[in-house]
Chains A and B, each alone.
Chain A
């Protein structure tokens, strides 16, 4: 069948535990969830694609676009499973990664520890060289020192090296020279340069970002090369795009060079998915709760738009406090991510308290109940024992879960011979409390409140835990959209094909070199249009230009819009006015008589996507008749209750039933706790509403 033609599009999200694949044709959406294959992640992805092509009766050449995101890089950083990485740096600066900002992220907690660097001190080598703040060479690079560093890295079995020299953002010469020497001595070495990964002032953030890039690069590069080849061999001829942490899309080439920018790709897809739901349902204040097998992500979406930021912290270790993770200077959707997912491993700490995560059993071996050799108790094992998951219907019946294995390992956390559901309840409560606490902390950091928000829950494990987390946060409405189990992959297909080019060009407003600037902006614009038009031929494009400006002498810039056309002298007044208006809006007042300087220029080009917005028909509420009930242990009351069990396929718009209930679908199960009622709205979303008087535990 070729009628669907190249209009079929595939979104694929590889998570730490599951690989989610979505195939959309103009008529319908097919979805599937397969276990992630860590040794070769493309295998699961290709399997998933094959399943969906068969379902839709399509061939590879019928597919017009594949958009892919992966948490491969994130999980490697969180679980410290990257390659053996070295750092080559300026003599005298071996410990930039250890020193960080020389500060404590918690003022009063004397037991806090700083995050340990990705590259241990033993693998950090320094070489004589020094660039000054103005780019001048104070000490030439010593090539022989670089060669001996190469010998050292080779002897140590280092697979990837980050090169990070002081002031390389103004003069990258030494870094490039060192890279050439290393490459000559070690042709297979993966090399990340700080002047390319994060060409911005402030050494700790730049070194940290570059180290992270190096730490994951070989893993991502090998993987993408294999995937590209495999897709080609199978007959796919469409473009393959990668989802970026910023919510935009990029090419394979760019992704291989800067894998650190893929770090939050899955979650970014989730944020786009949630934002589409917020826009469709006109929800002003949303909390997007995305819980997969390995991590949970919380993102606030105001007025249908996720917040973005230019820096991010990955792998926060200490009660999710800001500063306890590794800083990355990359464009990213603003969110908090913690090591809490279905595969998170539970244990008892020195004080005998149950602790869940951040270590995850992933998909291999996976939770004990998968019966694939996993010997540690996980959140999924606990969910199974509590009766929330039907062991025969997991992942659409793809695998049968082994209850007795779950009992053995979870029971091991409790008293010998006692009911294994008690420690299971403990695991569930701790992981839910952990996620609620992360949401509260993030809200404070963002200066916003959580309790008046509508929660949208997606990702394989979120619908199992959403109601309880909402109770803890004082949230009274939870929405479980269609395709919730594969939300990020759906989001990928909603992302615009976009490309952003940034260049440093220091100018003072009032004395702008107009011709030089116009030339630069035109070249940037051409580069971006070219890349976007190749990915979205014939689609109308929009362009925005941004300048990052500040008063001379300040340390931080604010973005101001620049007209997307050649500038003339009169535009300097426009830029000044826009700067002052933005500054006033942000900080309340302006400073008269000070020079305004612009450091960075960004040009973004985006292909406009026409999203079919279906407005839902109004529905008549009617009570759904429950025929099956199942014993489930409820954490809020600690009692076993008879939960209604319904198939999501059997529910239709307008259906209403009172909690407690379990709604089972192929990719996940929604727990409707006793405090909530369930309605199915016109979009087919499950809407959980806190019953009047049924308010859960206070936050």
Chain B
């Protein structure tokens, strides 16, 4: 076969692999039982070669899972070597240090057998509504309080489910139906991917995925290195202060662009804390890679080759590289800040290519009510539910930031109707938050206001894990900060941004999500854009006057000036 033809064949197979993992992800969503998976798409699906290298991922995935799995599949192979696997075997774990950073993310890896041998591996990882323990909040003092730990185990042997394990899981979680149903849907998902993959191997007369894996990985690595080669060499520093649990935490990074690689070193970052907002190295890498990729090589498909030129170091014992048994359940509140830390370094190396800081941390609202003995059928019903909400993203070079849109997380918000059908809560408000986008030549995205109550006449609890309440997103190049978040009761009492708290019977929880920061001097914003924001109710005339020097009767260009900073904590 000529090399040109072989190249075409490889490209066809590559495209096919992407559609196979996409189908794998779709199957997971179609068959799943929990809203985190079926509606929010808090999942990832991917195919790996027999050496455990990521070859292709579904576009629906979220970085915290995907890039963590990219690191994690080799651990499965270390414990269960491929030559000992049998057709119909499936493997499971939720070990934060081996996969996605907290116990709520369960990963299932399955071999794909073809002509009697393991030809490839399929993996998927999803966020579970509950895994026992204290629940998904930052209050655990060690991993032992955070729920059921599942080491890498056989979930199924030759198609037969490990009943002992499943019984143990059911007994340890608050929502056994959803968790068990989801675990079965992981298997269905990997099985559907395996069927398609086998058909592809047959069609192209291949024994294993090795050749195509080499092709994909080599190509992607070379393309990433070529992108890096276009960048200036040097080292740039950035630091960012975030709320933390009960005291501020400083994240520090030095980013070095070298000969074909980029190193991010988090030396100088604060130490781990006693509450569950600590990040394992896998997860730290996952979001660092993501931040780098968005700026350096967004067009190159994600796989082991595309990630190889990116290197991450974080001091052991720092909040970005904790060891067992430090608590990690709400690790996303710190982990999802890392792209902003990376962007801060890159904005110095690559002026004009990097957005301003955003709200970044997904505001995952985990609610719970405890059963009142003897009153289960009326107002004493227990429930456990979670729904996702996003603030504003940072202003981009020539576009405003995205309002109420997840970044860097790749998940979707559950529909309000779906959330309410699953638990006795009422979301009374879920609406854009005017005046929350940081001022600038381009404006930060708006946050949103969420108000939620219970239908039951009893108190309920929130496992708060919200960020950017004290320290707002900072503007870039003269742009203003985004509005910081607010956590309170509808009756007025402020709540803490982190930790388990009670909402009294009849009261409601109100969340004002942070806005993204602005970019460039507000005075450079076009008058028409300010007018339009006012007309659409995204900006009040008062704020427009304060931040942009806007006057109701003026039609001309804005006066030049600096940002009126909306944040009150930075």
Contacts and interface: CB of A to CB of B under 8 A. Distances in A.
Interface of A: 91-96, 98-99, 101-104, 106-111, 113-114, 120-122, 130, 132-133, 138, 166-167, 201-204, 440, 443-449, 451, 474, 551, 553-556, 587-589, 591, 594, 698-699
B19 A444 contact: yes
Interface stretch (B228-236, B270-278, B429-437): B429-437
Contacts of B95: none
Size band of the interface chain B makes with A: 35 or more
B420 A556 contact: no
Interface stretch (B77-85, B411-419, B457-465, B498-506): B411-419
B448 A444 contact: no
Contact of A588 (B195, B407, B537): B195
A551 B32 CA distance: 10
Contacts of A95: 404, 430-432, 448
Q: Which of B32, B196, B389, B426 has the most CB of A within 10 A?
A: B426
Given A103-B412, A132-B455, A555-B418, A589 B537 contact: no
A449 B16 contact: yes
B388 interface: yes
A555 B32 contact: yes
* Main DSSP-derived SS at the A contact region: loop
A43 B191 CA distance: 56
Given A102-B404, A132-B455, A111 B32 contact: no
Nearest to A101: B412
A96 B59 CA distance: 24
B544 to A, nearest CB: 16
A55 to B, nearest CB: 48
Contacts of A98: 403-404, 432
A133 B420 contact: yes
Q: Which of B31, B189, B421, B431 has the most CB of A within 10 A?
A: B31
Nearest to A444: B19
B428 interface: yes
Interface of B: 4, 8, 11-12, 15-16, 18-20, 22-23, 27, 29-33, 35, 38-39, 41, 59, 61, 63, 177-178, 181, 184, 187-189, 191-192, 195-196, 290, 293-295, 298-299, 302, 355, 388-390, 396, 399, 402-407, 410-413, 415-418, 420-421, 426-432, 448, 451, 455, 535-538
Nearest to B397: A111
B178 A202 contact: no
B542 to A, nearest CB: 18
Nearest to A136: B455
Contact of A587 (B188, B417, B535): B188
Contacts of A451: 12
Contacts of B192: 587-588
B298 A108 contact: yes
A474 B389 CA distance: 44
Nearest to B190: A588
A122 B430 CA distance: 17
Contacts of A201: 415, 417-418, 421
Contacts of A591: 181, 184
Given A113-B399, A201-B417, A447-B20, A103 B405 contact: yes
Contacts of A108: 290, 293-294, 298-299, 302
A93 B430 contact: yes
A204 B32 CA distance: 21
A132 to B, nearest CB: 7
Contacts of B538: 121
A591 B166 CA distance: 14
Nearest to B23: A447
Contact of B39 (A91, A121, A130, A555): A555
For the complex of A and B, 3 pairs with smallest distance between CB atoms: A92-B429, A555-B38, A588-B191
A121 B432 CA distance: 10
A594 B299 CA distance: 43
Given A99-B448, A130-B428, A556-B38, 7 more contacts: A93-B430, A108-B299, A133-B417, A448-B19, A449-B16, A551-B33, A698-B4
Of B431, B448, B535, which is in contact with the most chain A CB atoms at under 10 Å from its CB? B431
Given A107-B63, A447-B23, A449-B12, A587 B30 contact: yes
Contact of B298 (A96, A109, A589): A109
A121 B416 contact: no
A322 to B, nearest CB: 9
A440 B432 CA distance: 36
B15 A444 contact: yes
A145 B59 CA distance: 44
Contacts of A699: 8, 11
A525 B159 CA distance: 43
B472 to A, nearest CB: 20
Given A95-B431, A202-B415, A587-B191, A447 B35 contact: no
Interface centre among B39, B406, B430 (most CB of A within 10 A): B430
B177 A553 contact: yes
A102 B15 contact: no
